[in-house]
């Protein structure tokens, strides 16, 4: 499974997924991640961090370039989801 991991912080989760034989490509920039998603095969983009306007825009743009790919967004920031 190929995972496109978006996060500007430490990538410990990516290392753990790597140990489980997942191929993880880490990108901190939403713009660069969108380019990768448009030109490469990924099973899922995984976004981890605060949900903000950039996150929402990435999801909208990602659905346009790859409507067949599910997008996983995780956030520990409960106030962002309210």
Residue 35 has pLDDT above 90, yes or no: yes
CATH code where residue 59 lies: 3.40.50.2300
Indicate if the pLDDT at residue 10 is higher than 80: no
The band of 37, judged by pLDDT with boundaries at 50, 70 and 90, is: very high
Instruction: From 50, 47, 1, 41, select the one nearest 24 (Cα to Cα).
Output: 1
In angstroms, the CA 18 to CA 34 distance is 22
Helices (H), the chain: 12-19, 30-39, 53-65, 78-81
Q: What is the count of structural domains for the chain?
A: 1
Domain containing 74 equals 2-81
pLDDT of residue 27: 87
């Amino acid at each position: 499974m190929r995972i496109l991991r978006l996060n500007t912080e430490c990538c410990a989760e990516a290392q753990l997924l790597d140990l489980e034989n997942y191929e993880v490509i880490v990108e901190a920039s939403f713009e660069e991640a969108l380019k990768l998603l448009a030109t490469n095969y990924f099973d899922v983009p995984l976004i981890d961090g605060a949900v903000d306007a950039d996150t929402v825009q990435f999801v909208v743009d990602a659905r346009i370039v790859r409507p067949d790919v599910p997008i996983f967004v995780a956030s520990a920031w409960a106030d962002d989801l309210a």
